[in-house]
Structure 1
């Protein structure tokens, strides 16, 4: 293990976080809130620690997969710890466990909250909550790789550890240029959404925080009613952008290039939009009797399907009151998630498609034992390592889910609440059903249960293995 490079990168992460924390300070100045001093204090602490750490460059700047995975996991934990301190200092969330839960939920773009009254928070704190979604959506390391002179050929280990999906590739030969392209697309889409929300009559502060939550597919709202109090026009804008941010960002890069037609060859994209269309259709008719007309039913159905499959977590209505068929579909969508290479969470559409094709292949062997069948995606044969990794991911996923369920059972809450609480945190969604539904929160869980859910949020966002490797003794051995 190359400890010096891990230390060095952690220093840059702290320095970067100190710069990010200046934004809520600006918000505090605009709204004349004294709570902004807490962000300034922590920003100074992060900056001093970060600059002290990065002053000494490591002699050996070579790092491999294990260093990349461990660095990413440790960075998200360190970033969350310091990101939670302002809430404790200014008294908005005085309990350390609760503050850490809220910030981890923010950075991992989960959107699960322990707050019973969101509107009681200072504007600077509300801004920071939503901005953590935007930071975590594309990933702090993608940003880091885009702006910092890191050790070139090894950067892919960091990007693979942080980026969602069964495999990660470079859009262009250099990782640094790939990171720049991804963040440029991310920023442009965020700005477009802010402009459209402002044009639709949403207040400036709400437009920025909503766009941050949508872009990061996080879902922290600035109102207790989430998105229910906004106009139908605003809800449709957010619906569309939630779906767009759930798309693999490679698709946008292809659209900007010469071979635009290749987007339609992306099998995952076709499945993604197909699942959304079918789900909206079924739920619209299933809830049609609950609203004044079919168009209102369509709006709420489209919004919630987009919110759940992209793992954003915004809500326009209490879908916990919907019929069982609609709630069942939404729970299934929680597990499916968005596309690989998007800002969304969940298992990912591509993995679901590969798993179905693997099952189909195995069933084919029973009929034709000597046949040779190849699993393909986008008309390209998948290598055995990718198929194996998807199967291993699912097994690991189920084990962690089962262990989490067992520990949460000690709180003696109902099974639906426990099950959907884990589904909502592990898949980085936010709201579940019953006690953790769109009108509820996670405050009733014990400190132990909250720690389990925080682990699930981090494991879900970082695709399981970076977090699990922290508990593997052999990883920490020096080379």
Structure 2
């Protein structure tokens, strides 16, 4: 008799653990509501209190119940289990994470589509928002937005693996299914140790940035929120004007940490151990660095020579705005100091193309990732050589090592599927009647987890004008992009569910 290939007890056990952690994070917002209610926030902040207490306790209870009922399991996970856990886990976290917004309601969250969009945008670190007046929202709600960034940046699965070693070797299946990039770099033979070290680096970057932002004049609340959004390359701000509300010192601090967060975290680990040569030898890092420098130089020159909005812009200001926006888009952070769509058609196209870059694999950024572009470019050059020398053995090399054929095929397949999904998404949005720039920008920024786009979703606008169906569709694209396409798409195929 055929039987199902899924280990249901293990799946429910991990999902229960994720719900439990999600509930704990929700309850962490309660002190924010109480503190600012005592300082004069009034009923607005107390409204935020109940919106976190109810779903937070519910998430903890359901999580503990699921975990306790399935605690006696083998601990072995197949690839199918891994894909299913990651896909269902992120969907479950997004739905539960939307409850505080939905229960708060009001003008900003009139329906569940708005609440889910904000939640998905937070967990996937996209940074697109439906809130028109951010500064009028309860601080507990804004803290939850930033916290969802921070949770989703490193990944709730990585957190689960780090804290619950009971998964054993099967945890690798979750790590691979969620890791951003064509390969999952292990810092230790044991995957639980790798997860712990990644989270230590993540927390350390967050703490250091928070301290530096405090020195720049931000209070603790705004410093923590922006550190969460920066290190996760998310982009949610507590200000209507985003980072334009702050001065040069804050901009430069955020620039540094956006760049660091766009690096492969394994390189950051080796750098902290004093092995800086391993960073410079990495092809992806060099391409990442030179891309930022070259595009920034071009943007600085164009902004300084011609800016219709600020005729008296200084060279330093042009450089800072250009560098900030280049790094914000490449790393898919999405913070804003200036509207880059107002910098002329050439730079508008440049920034649009950067939405398809992404930063490094193994970072918190979204997008295609630079390593994939490198491998595609190298493989294309090799094809020219193979045409001239059909009998020559010309291996594809990366970091001076031959790349396995399956990785090269995976990269090519990913890029093909990514562009096919992008075209499909554009057709869907075009069928809804949006203008050309809004169609291109909304799909690119959602699938790439960038945040700002073109047209009606430009850097000084938001996504509130979309109807419920459009918000659900764009939320789906954000999840696809964050989970590297295949993790979700595989679950949607009929053969994934076949029995043997």
Same fold (TM over 0.5): yes
Q: 1:248 aligns with which of 264, 288, 301?
A: 264
Matched, 1:152 2:168: yes
1:214-229 superposed matches below 5 A: 214-229=230-245
Q: In structure 2, how many angstroms separate the alpha carbons of the residues matched to 1:152 and 1:211?
A: 32
Q: In structure 2, how many angstroms separate the alpha carbons of the residues matched to 1:262 and 1:478?
A: 45
CA deviations over 1:378-426 (Å, ceiling 9, x no partner): 1111000100000010111112111111111122111111111111010
Contact 2:263 2:359 in 1 (8 A): yes
Contact 1:196 1:237 in 2 (8 A): yes
Quote the offset at 1:447 in angstroms.
2.0
Contact 1:87 1:94 in 2 (8 A): no
CA deviations over 1:65-117 (Å, ceiling 9, x no partner): 11101100100000010100011112252310000000100000000111221
Give me the TM-score of the superposition, normalised by structure 2: 0.94
Q: RMSD between aligned alpha carbons? A: 1.2
Gaps of 5+ in 2: 1-5, 38-44
Quote the offset at 1:353 in angstroms.
0.2
Contact 1:105 1:113 in 2 (8 A): yes
Contact 1:70 1:469 in 2 (8 A): no
Q: In structure 1, how many angstroms separate the alpha carbons of the residues matched to 2:254 and 2:329?
A: 13
Q: In structure 1, how many angstroms separate the alpha carbons of the residues matched to 2:72 and 2:478?
A: 32
Q: 2:384 aligns with which of 363, 367, 370?
A: 363
Quote the offset at 1:256 in angstroms.
2.8
Give me the TM-score of the superposition, normalised by structure 1: 0.98
Q: 2:222 aligns with which of 206, 209, 229?
A: 206
Quote the offset at 1:478 in angstroms.
4.7
Aligned residues: 479
Quote the offset at 1:52 in angstroms.
0.9
Matched, 1:79 2:100: no
Quote the offset at 1:150 in angstroms.
2.4
Between 90-99 and 168-177, report the one with greater CA deviation: 90-99
Gaps of 5+ in 1: none
Q: In structure 1, how many angstroms separate the alpha carbons of the residues matched to 2:466 and 2:384?
A: 43
Q: In structure 1, how many angstroms separate the alpha carbons of the residues matched to 2:482 and 2:203?
A: 20
1:285-296 superposed matches below 5 A: 285-288=301-304, 289-290=306-307, 291=310, 292-296=313-317
Q: 2:34 aligns with which of 29, 34, 38?
A: 29
Quote the offset at 1:12 in angstroms.
0.5
Q: In structure 1, how many angstroms separate the alpha carbons of the residues matched to 2:161 and 2:130?
A: 33
Q: What's the secondary structure of 2:355's corresponding residue?
A: helix
Contact 1:103 1:129 in 2 (8 A): yes
Between 91-100 and 427-436, report the one with greater CA deviation: 91-100
**Aligned match of 1:352:** 373
**Aligned match of 2:345:** 324
Contact 2:341 2:347 in 1 (8 A): no
**Aligned match of 2:3:** none
Q: What's the secondary structure of 2:189's corresponding residue?
A: coil
Q: In structure 2, how many angstroms separate the alpha carbons of the residues matched to 1:75 and 1:17?
A: 11
